[in-house]
Chain A
Amino acid sequence: MSQPVTPTTARADVIIVGGGLMGAATAFFSRQRGLSVILLERDLVGQYASGTNFGNVRRQGRFLPQLPLANRSRVIWGRLPELIGEDVEFLPSGHVRVAFKQQDSARLEQYAQDCKPYGLELELYSGRKAVERFPMLSPDVDCASFSPLDGHANPRLAAPAFGRAARRAGATVLEGAEVTNITRTSEDFVVETAKSQRFTAPLLQISSGAWAQKMAAAFGENLPFTPKAPQMGVTEPVPYRIQPVIGYASWVEEEGVYLRQVKRGNIIFGGGQRGTVDLVAKRARLDPLNTVRQMPHLERILPDFARLRVIRTWAGIEGYTEDDLPVMGPSARIPGLYYAFGFCGHGFQLGPGVGATMADLLATGQTEIPLAPFSIARFAQPSAQ
């Protein structure tokens, strides 16, 4: 997204550091609220976690207090082609979680009860009924939990589409702009890049994913944080038969695989053990042994998977916090500083909602979406207070 003219210095209402889905969506919605925006992306918009994730637009199974945010996001997903002018292949074809063990089924049943007050209605199918409803599933499925309004989208397209839409709406979206230094004057944050550009704004959002921890720490807000690499793969295209996303509801890490079929036929899969990440080299490792390990579990949920061929694998770079919840909302220490990072491998669905909610905060300082569980304050050490 090379701008015709790259400014070397500029001031705006808000600077967003990191052009993943969170940053790009925030840039777009901030423009909708009339803020002037500079988005600084070190490489290309949506290149890391945002572009390499599974593409799940799933609400069911989420941490319950996160559902208001997820619901808001789901509404935006449904409005996407009109809203941003580009199709990102969102298919609201539903999401199924399947359990083979009774204790896992019990958890699905419990969740289906607990999520109701949040406006998420799930359909439960037990035993034979599950296979009647979803004939592609293995006959020994014990329980299937179906979320009819969830679905999936193309992560390679979503963040860049938001980036382009933000630019069309007047945001300054700079790729190849690696932030090297952030300081704060009495009025503004001053952000400098490796190309000696200098940008200033009274508001700053850090949404640089797996690389955000260092930036937060520089503002005195460190947290335990681990980058991990989801292990993804895709099969050859076959006729379109599997509408919903299917996830294996197991609390055994290695069994936790998931798959979805895109309309042109490929089946995308992931899950199980995660790989290691080199943040400096910006490289995530796909361990092909993990691909081999995924196969029996994928076949367990979808027996016909065994006929297919895997044609490509990849990994992404995701940031994980200790409690598996993101860091989202205002800084606990610095006025004007906001965070949206560390989505622990489940940020894709939230992306548009995060953008809209962060724009609320940036424009008005408040939002109706409850964000308390995601505050960075939860990691503050008593001694540092």
Chain B
Amino acid sequence: MDKPVVIVVGAGPAGTRAAQTLAQAGLRPVVLDENRLQGGQIYRRQPENFSRPASKLYGASARSATALHTAFEALLPHIDYRPETLAWGISSNQLLTEHHQHVETLPFDAMIIAAGATDRIMPCPGWTLPGVFTLGGAQIALKAQACTIGAAPIFMGTGPLLYLVAWQYLRAGVKPRAVLDTSSFKTRMKGLSGLRHRPAILAQGIRYMADLLRTGVPLHAGITPVRVEKQENDTDLRVRGVTWRTARGQLRHTEGDAVGIGYGLRSETQLADLLKCDFAFDALSRQWLPVTDEDGATSQKGIYLAGDGAGIRGADAAESAGELAALRCLADLGRPVAQKEVECLRDALKPMNAFRHGLETGFPWPWKNAADLPDETVICRCENVTAGDIRRAAGPLDAPEVNRAKAFVRVGMGRCQGRMCGLAGTEILAAARNIPIEEAGRIRSAAPVKPLPAKIRGIMT
């Protein structure tokens, strides 16, 4: 029998370890990655002609990053690696890809999707101004381009990435003007029992905060964003600072020339959706996620999820999950798999799940803010759909859920397919109709997963 074709989508921690496990079992997986260089977002590499050492780029995770990069280099002869390749659609048992405007159809026997995540965004007035970037974006600027998003950045949102990025900026010599966290100290304490499952990570986070405080970076907890302020002259429009409310409700203003925002992460689930995997509402993160078992197997035969694309657990968990999903895939393909190894990985992931619980509890998505956003706030930045537009869909146009609102007022209908606005838009709809968020649905995915050039060619018709 021919070797089964297994496609791995994504070459971050989960995808790399999945590919490695498949290759070790004698398969030659196809590894598709949108990026030019392997590593994913977390272990994103700098361009070849940059020279900073890994310790500078990845800090405490330098060893993991280097190990992942090295493992991948060793894999290259054993995999069909396709960088800068978008997996954009499914036609029965074929995956459609695009690389430099060339389409290919790849038949597959199994697929491991390790598509990662993007920042979870809660819009606020002014968030579309030049100078406002996601926390992940702010980190990429530094990691992959040795640039900062400004000279006096403000970091606003919640979650560990907020402090990590602020700390990395501090270390790079650009002192943040403030770190504004929507989570209060009291809320964070609620997450402690979960966060304790990974004491080293917790200690690191505390160290970042301590370093920031020691150098005089104000850390504010329990804040509510009011708006990103603009500075305008002639054709130049950019960030001037952030207005926010303290936990006690007092208005404050922090001057700055750039803002990094992010409220934890959201999974990239489009391919799983196109493959018709079942989704279920995850009350912890208030998101709909593909249903998987503990190994990453979905409701669809031969389709597995690993890494942050299946739920946010971070890079270490992603490596284990990638390996575990690959072992499960091998077992399902009838290949021998060491059960001990499987058990070992399952055990390794258990504290990660508890840690995830701690993160979502301690640094929750500030969903209640959505209801208070002024009507004129842009929510969908692709289509410039405002909170008021969504409320009009929810009320006078009587859209019971978010896809109907999308049909009426175009929220989530733009180029990014709701990646940036989908969660907040759904919260606004749910609040306006006074219904539980799970009843407000989730934006359905559609091919192409990302914009596809009309020039595409390559399929015989």
Contact = CB atoms under 8 A, between A and B. Distances in A.
B367 interface: no
A308 interface: yes
A288 B91 contact: yes
Contacts of A308: 453-454
A288 B90 contact: yes
Interface string B322-336: 000000000000000
Interface stretch (B11-19, B141-149, B409-417, B421-429): B409-417
Q: Which of A44, A298, A305 has the most chain B CB atoms inside 10 A of its CB?
A: A44
Interface stretch (B239-247, B353-361, B400-408): B400-408
Nearest to B396: A164
B417 A312 contact: yes
A305 B447 CA distance: 18
Interface string B439-450: 000000011100
Nearest to B455: A306
B398 interface: yes
A254 B460 CA distance: 13
Contacts of A349: none
Given A235-B454, A254-B461, A291 B398 contact: no
A289 B457 CA distance: 11
A160 B447 contact: no
Contacts, number: 80
Interface in A295-336: 295-296, 298-299, 305-314
Given A160-B408, A289-B91, A299 B461 contact: no
Given A156-B407, A236-B415, A289-B459, A311 B451 contact: yes
B91 A44 contact: no
A312 B413 contact: yes
A2 interface: yes
A311 B448 contact: yes
A160 B409 CA distance: 13
Contacts of B451: 236, 309-311
B417 A160 contact: no
B89 A293 contact: no
A20 B413 CA distance: 22
B452 interface: yes
A313 B456 contact: no
B459 A292 contact: yes
B344 interface: no
B337 interface: no
A307 B454 CA distance: 7
A246 B214 CA distance: 66
B446 A160 contact: no
A131 interface: no
B202 interface: no
A308 B454 CA distance: 6
Q: Per DSSP, are chain A's interface residues mostly helix, strand or loop, or mixed?
A: helix
A287 to B, nearest CB: 5
A174 interface: no
Nearest to A267: B454
B103 interface: yes
A44 B408 contact: no
A309 B452 contact: yes
Interface string B139-183: 000000000000000000000000000000000000000000000
A262 B91 CA distance: 29
Nearest to B446: A312
A321 to B, nearest CB: 28
Contacts of A164: 397-398
B410 to A, nearest CB: 9
Interface string A88-101: 00000000000000
Interface in B362-385: none
B46 to A, nearest CB: 28
B446 A314 contact: yes
Given A2-B400, A306-B454, A311-B415, A291 B408 contact: no
B96 interface: yes
Contact of B454 (A44, A298, A312, A313): A298
A372 interface: no
A289 B447 CA distance: 10
Given A44-B404, A157-B408, A160-B397, A313 B105 contact: no
A292 B417 CA distance: 19
B88 interface: yes
A286 B454 contact: no
A51 B454 CA distance: 24
Contact of A51 (B103, B397, B407, B413): B407
B459 to A, nearest CB: 5
Contacts of A287: 91
A295 B102 CA distance: 13
Contact of B89 (A156, A236, A291, A306): A291
A296 B218 CA distance: 57
A310 B398 contact: no
Contact of A292 (B397, B400, B446, B456): B456
B447 to A, nearest CB: 4
A243 B90 CA distance: 33
Interface string A258-291: 0000000000000000000000000000111101
A295 B457 contact: yes
A290 to B, nearest CB: 9
A45 B89 CA distance: 29
Interface string A1-12: 110000000000
Interface string A143-157: 000000000000011
A51 to B, nearest CB: 6
A299 B448 CA distance: 19
A309 B398 CA distance: 32
A1 B398 contact: yes
Given A288-B90, A310-B448, A305 B454 contact: yes
Interface in A30-83: 44, 51
A302 to B, nearest CB: 10
25 contacts: A2-B400, A44-B404, A51-B407, A156-B407, A157-B408, A164-B397, A164-B398, A235-B454, A254-B461, A289-B105, A292-B96, A292-B456, A292-B459, A293-B459, A293-B461, A295-B455, A299-B454, A306-B454, A307-B454, A309-B451, A309-B453, A311-B417, A311-B448, A312-B448, A313-B447
Given A289-B459, A299-B454, 7 more contacts: A160-B397, A291-B447, A291-B452, A292-B459, A307-B455, A312-B448, A313-B448
Interface of A: 1-2, 44, 51, 156-157, 160, 164, 235-236, 254, 286-289, 291-293, 295-296, 298-299, 305-314
Interface of B: 88-91, 96, 103, 105, 397-398, 400, 404, 407-408, 413-415, 417, 446-448, 451-459, 461
